[in-house]
């Protein structure tokens, strides 16, 4: 079952839009097994974020600057199949913010709200992108 919830709010001249997407899917619970180092795995997580946004007809790369993308990342379930074709169950993004820290806060807040609303328990909302720069930090035990 696919669920989509969006919220748009304005903050004076900066403007703000947050869209959070949640999709209830079942994936096998396996750790990342593609043998990638942390940097390569971070690249692939970023690709899953872009694919998740694209699934909902949003192009993160075309959003105005001062933006951030956050995804609820199921580190324990990341495997090659997930990285190749899945989308994140909950995500948040923000754009047209005054500062990067504000963009991160708003996107993270949106992801956490969707995670709570749909009772997603096997993932962690983490920053994937700040602007166009990859910002995801792969946990040591996953990147091995």
Residue 38: pLDDT above 60?
yes
* Pair 24, 30: CB distance under 8 Å: no
Mean pLDDT of all residues belonging to the chain: 79
Residues 55-109 pLDDT 10s: 888 999 999 999 999 999 999 999 999 999 999 999 999 999 999 999 999 999 9
Among 4-13, 36-45, 81-90, the range of highest mean pLDDT:
81-90
Provide the pLDDT for residue 39.
86
Boundaries of every domain in the chain: 2-143
The one-character DSSP state at 21 is: E
The one-character DSSP state at 1 is: -
Provide the pLDDT for residue 144.
56
Cα–Cα nearest to 89, from 46, 125, 138, 58: 125
pLDDT band at 30 (very low <50, low <70, confident <90, very high): very low
Tell me the three-class secondary structure of 55-67, residue by residue. HCCCCHHHCCCCC
> What is the number of residues in the chain?
144
* Pair 88, 71: CB distance under 8 Å: yes
Mean pLDDT within 27-49: 67
Q: Report pTM.
A: 0.75
Burial 73-99 (b: 16+ CB within 10 A, else e): bbbbbbbeebbeebbbbbbbbbbbbee
* Pair 92, 5: CB distance under 8 Å: no
Mean pLDDT within 23-35: 34
| CA 135 – CA 138 distance, rounded (Å) | 10
Provide the pLDDT for residue 118.
85
């Amino acid at each position: 079952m696919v669920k989509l919830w969006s919220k748009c709010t304005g903050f004076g001249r900066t403007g703000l839009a947050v869209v959070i997407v949640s999709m209830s899917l079942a994936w096998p619970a396996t750790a990342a097994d593609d043998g990638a180092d942390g940097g390569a795995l971070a690249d692939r997580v970023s690709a899953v974020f872009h694919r998740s946004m694209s699934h909902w007809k949003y192009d993160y790369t075309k959003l105005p600057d001062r933006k951030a993308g956050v995804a609820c990342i199921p580190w324990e379930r990341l495997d090659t199949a997930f990285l190749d074709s899945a989308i994140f169950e909950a995500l948040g993004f923000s754009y047209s913010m005054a500062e990067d820290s504000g963009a991160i806060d708003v996107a993270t807040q949106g992801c956490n709200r969707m995670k709570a609303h749909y009772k997603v328990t096997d993932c962690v909302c983490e920053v994937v992108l700040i602007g166009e720069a990859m910002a995801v930090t792969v946990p040591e035990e996953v990147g091995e």
